[in-house]
Structures are given as structure tokens and as C-alpha cells.
Amino acid sequence: MRVTVDATSLLLRSAGVKSYTYHWLHALRQQAGPDRIRAFPFIRKTGELDHDRSMLPAWATYPRLAALFGANLTRAMLLDMCIAGSDIFHASNQIHYAPRGCLLTATVHDMTCWKMPELHTPANVEADRRFAGRILKRAHGLIAVSESARQDAIEELDIPEERIVAIHSGVSDAYFQVSVTDVLELKEIAGLRKPYVLFVGTIEPRKNLDRLLDAWLSLPASLREEHELVIAGPTGWARETEKRLESGLTGVRRLGYVAEEALPALTAGALAFVYPSLYEGFGFPVAQAMAAGVPVLTSNISALPEITGDAAELVDPFSIAEIRCSLERLLTSPSKREEMAARGKERARNYRWSRCAARSLQFFGQVLGNELR
């Protein structure tokens, strides 16, 4: 069995899909062998996923060639040329083209553009719907990153239940292995002097930051003076939220984009992790915080209850009062934080890339054996 995976998302600056693709590919190759799992197109060298297992040679690392090979038409032409010898092509939402001569699979990360289109740009909604029509509905098999995402895809796209399976994503080992030294160094570099509550995510409407900020600002002044709310993540398309963050809110620190290698220490150093998202297909930041041994406050909707189980403080993300009460409870109860941190760490052990890869290889075998149709 030979599988070619679209790795175009590795060209993105930062995104959950990029992290998924990188760690999933690495785990697949560890278990199946690099000759059975190939990446297309591999534009830039990225850690252990090198050009020796790429469809493209090393000269494709040059930025101008990267831009050329990033174009949809060029990628489609290359895909048909390079797919020879593959049994399965696993598509991402970066390519809206199904190659000829092999079976087609894909991963469903979330259905937020169907469930909450008003929270996205029209361009994003259109791109996701185009990907669904050209890839998801034509695929011989689909992986959903949670049972919640699976059910949403079945409902919104009218996909036969037997054709889509739920396989939970993993969490990088780095989150399980953060040292005290790493945390102290990160705090010194970032100037984090007070205990802090952490949010990690792109500044976009779906992440529900405005309600989080309202909840934070309604806390007793003494708590806000003793603690900081740290917002880490790149700028998105929530302009009014960005303006609020730039206005100098009491006890709120905006870090902006944080490199992926620094996130485990930043996460592990937090007193608590808060993530009141309005929709998630999996919720990487929540699983990562649990793995780092940090108590989590998150939403009681979409995939988040599935991922956290009883290991998180769950709230109605539309209720500022609920978010505030849960925040206050976490900040004022060390025993509650300790209990939740222990539960979260144990829960996060279910989300290992080795397990995800093993189940994915089983899925590919089922697709080849015509077992999902």
C-alpha cells in the first residue's frame, strides 16, 4: 500500500491543520515506513519531513519556486504527474482537485463554515464549500478528527455513515515533557511576572474572545490585579476585537503570534487555560493544555466535551456570567486547579499521534479493501 498525502498546509504560517499534517505524516512514516507514505508537494524543508520523501526535489525550497508550486493550476498538473505508483491520495483543503488513477481520501477537520458561516469571511466559506463538492463528497473514505465532526459532516454533506470514521488527532510529546527550566526561561523572555490565565488561538469571531474579555473585566478588581489574561495567537479577521486588545485593557496582555516551539512552555506555565470557542472540530489548544498539566475552562458545545470528558470546566460560551464564574472559581481554588490538572493530564494520554497513525493506516487498508462503501 502506497499513500500520497497532500502536505500543502505545511506552507501555512500557523494553523491547526498545519500541525495536524506535520505530526500525522511523521507518525505515519514511523509506523508504515517512508516508502509507503509520501508527501505532495513538499516545498520547504520542515524538520524531519525532508525532501528525500517528497514529490519535489530540493531546489523547490527557493521562495519564488515555492510561490509557483503553490498555485492551484501548477499543483494540479504536478499531482497528475507525480501520483503514479500511489494507491491512495489523501487530500487537504488546500487542493480542490481529485487526481486520476488512485483512490481518494481526506480529513474533515470541522464543519464550522456550515454550522456558523457568519463567523467566517465569505471567501473562506466559498473555499470550504468548493472543497466539499470536489473532494469530500467524491472521496472513497473520510477521516473526521472527532465523532462530533463526523456527525456534523454526515448531517451537512449527506455523506453515508459507513464512509466516514472518527479518528482523534494527537498531541505532540513536547506538551507532556515541559521542564521547569523551560517554563522559567519562557516567562523571563516574555516578561510574564504575574500568574496568568492563557488563551491560544487566532483572533477570529469563532474563538469568542469578546465574551472572554467581558468576563475577565467583570472579575473582582483584586483578582485582575494579581493575575494576567494572556492572549497568544496571530491576527485574524476580528478587527473590533483587535482594537479592544490594543486599547490597553486592565490585566490583559496581547502576545501576538507565538512560535510553535515556544507554545509548550507558555502553556505549561499558565495557572489555567481558557478557551470558550463557539465551535471546534477537535480543539488542539485544549488537548495541549491538558497534556501540559494545566486546568482547562472551555465550551460545552461541538467537539470540546468529547475531547475533555470530565477533565475540564465546561461553560455555555454564550454566557458571560458562566465564563466569569468559572474563571473566578479556578483563580481562587488551588485544590480545584490541582484536581483538574491531574484529570486533564490523564485524559490527554488518549491523544497520541502513534495511536492516530495506527488507526489511520487501518482506515487506508479498509479503503483499499472496499470496506467503507
In the chain, alpha helices (H) = 16-32, 63-69, 72-82, 112-115, 122-134, 147-157, 180-190, 209-217, 221-226, 239-246, 263-268, 284-291, 304-308, 320-332, 334-348, 353-368
Mean per-residue pLDDT, 40-54: 49
- Side by side, which strands form the sheet with 141-144? 37-40, 3-6, 88-91, 103-108, 141-144, 164-166
* pLDDT value at 358 more than 90: yes
Q: Are 277 and 201 within 8 A, CB to CB?
A: yes
Residue with cell 470496506: 371
Angle at 23 between CA 373 and CA 65, to 5 degrees: 95
Q: What is the pLDDT of residues 252-270, one digit of tens each?
A: 999 988 988 999 999 999 9
Angle at 40 between CA 36 and CA 46, to 5 degrees: 95
Q: What backbone torsions phi and psi does residue 269 show, to the nearest 5 degrees?
A: -80, -5
Gyration radius from the chain CA atoms: 21
* pLDDT value at 246 more than 90: no
Can you tell me the distance from the alpha carbon of 3 to that of 105, in angstroms, rounded to the nearest whole number?
Answer: 10
Can you tell me the distance from the alpha carbon of 92 to that of 89, in angstroms, rounded to the nearest whole number?
Answer: 10
Q: Where are the domains of the chain?
A: 3-170+352-368, 173-348
Tell me which of 146 and 13 has the higher pLDDT. Answer: 146
What is the pLDDT of the chain when averaged over all its residues? Answer: 89
End-to-end CA distance of the chain: 19
* pLDDT value at 329 more than 60: yes
* pLDDT value at 73 more than 70: no
Do the domains spanning 3-170+352-368 and 173-348 agree at the CATH topology level?
A: yes
Q: Are 219 and 328 within 8 A, CB to CB?
A: yes
* pLDDT value at 50 more than 90: no
Q: Where is average pLDDT lowest: 2-16, 220-234, 241-255, 278-292?
A: 2-16
Q: What is the pLDDT of residues 163-178, one digit of tens each?
A: 999 999 999 999 999 9
Taking the CA of residue 368 as centre, how many other CA atoms within 13 Å lie in the half-sphere pointing to its CB? Answer: 14
* pLDDT value at 16 more than 60: yes
Q: How many CB atoms lie within 10 A of CB 360?
A: 25
Q: Which CATH number fits domain 173-348: 3.40.50.12160, 3.20.20.20, 3.30.360.10, 3.40.50.2000?
A: 3.40.50.2000
Tell me which of 69 and 35 has the higher pLDDT. Answer: 35
Q: Is it true that domain 3-170+352-368 has CATH number 3.40.50.2000? A: yes
* pLDDT value at 46 more than 60: no
Mean per-residue pLDDT, 123-149: 94
Find the helix or strand (DSSP H, E) in which 297 lies: strand 296-299
* pLDDT value at 8 more than 90: no
* pLDDT computed for residue 95 by the predictor: 73
